[in-house]
Amino acid sequence: MKKILIFGVFTWQIILCVTVFGQSQFNSNDFNSRLLWKDGYTLTWADFIVTMDSNRKGQSISKWCDIYIVFSFSSDKSLPVVVKLESVLYKTRSFQDTTYLNRIGSRKLTDYILEYETMQFNLAELYTRKLRQYVKSKIKKYNNKSAKYVFNDISNRAKKVNGELISKQNEYSNLLNVFYSKDIKVISDSNLNKIENQIKTWDFDINQELKSLNEYGFSEIDFYVKKNNWNNKR
């Protein structure tokens, strides 16, 4: 059998996401628009498929990069359990507000927004690797457990890791709340430099941590369990 859990990590933009869209169901177009995290990849506006005019809709959606930690789990009586943990961006659920971007009046700042969102994607991958690290550290224990126990244990850990990621996302968004201002028109060069330096500092730190977890860069982990019958809880 196969189970898939999707943990949203977009809470640094929770006001936009909850107010406008809520927790809507995924459809086939969303899954077909999956963009998997890739080392060295920088997001472009083409990755934000949906365009919205905030003046017309009465909302401000300057950017909404819809990123998730996706946990898939499959088990079979004669085969090893396969756990897959991925950092995924869904293009059909990522938005750009043309009114907001035109209001900014600064190509440099819109580039920084893309750098910021790319950094957030990298951060999601960092926490996904921490989750993979946890799973690999538990394999010996999992060998003596049921598939159901393993699934529940990883699910619970994923929720904890996602909470840690949400806290970090909130920290970043609070420090760079200039991106969320509806009244933004012109930002001084000195503030642009501060934004650039802050993003570069965060991005450097995240990439250093990613490198330290390189051995967990592969999304799929497989191992045998004692009881592959889903009815066994322990």
What is the per-residue pLDDT across 160-171, written as a single tens digit (0 to 9) for each?
998 898 888 888
- At 123 the pLDDT is 94
Identify whether 231 is part of a domain: no
Q: What is the mean pLDDT of residues 119-132?
A: 94
- 145 within 8 A of 186, measured Cβ to Cβ: no
Identify whether 234 is part of a domain: no
Strand 220-223 versus strand 79-90 pairing type: antiparallel
Q: What's the half-sphere exposure (Cβ side, CA atoms, 13 Å) at 90?
A: 20
Identify whether 233 is part of a domain: no
Identify whether 99 is part of a domain: yes
- At 17 the pLDDT is 25
Q: What is the mean pLDDT of residues 38-57?
A: 75
- At 186 the pLDDT is 53
Instruction: Report the length, in residues, of the chain.
Output: 234
Q: What's the half-sphere exposure (Cβ side, CA atoms, 13 Å) at 60?
A: 14
Identify whether 228 is part of a domain: no
Give the residue, 80 or 139, on which the prediction is more confident.
Answer: 139
Identify whether 26 is part of a domain: yes
What would the pLDDT profile of 71-94 be if each residue is shown by its tens digit? 888 877 777 888 888 888 888 777
Which helix (DSSP H) or strand (DSSP E) does residue 52 occupy? strand 50-52
Q: What number of other Cβ atoms are within 10 A of residue 101's Cβ?
A: 19
How far is 202 from 172, CA to CA, in rounded Å?
Answer: 9
Print the domain residue range for 157.
2-223
- 12 within 8 A of 169, measured Cβ to Cβ: yes
Q: How many domains does the chain have?
A: 1
Is the pTM of the predicted complex or chain greater than 0.75? yes
- At 67 the pLDDT is 83
- At 211 the pLDDT is 97
pLDDT surpassing 60 at residue 6? no
pLDDT surpassing 80 at residue 181? no
Residue-averaged pLDDT of the chain = 75
Handedness of CA 196, 199, 202, 206 (dihedral sign): negative
- At 84 the pLDDT is 87
What would the pLDDT profile of 184-232 be if each residue is shown by its tens digit? 555 566 667 777 888 889 999 999 999 999 999 988 899 888 766 555 5
How far is 24 from 34, CA to CA, in rounded Å?
Answer: 16
Identify whether 174 is part of a domain: yes
- 110 within 8 A of 195, measured Cβ to Cβ: no
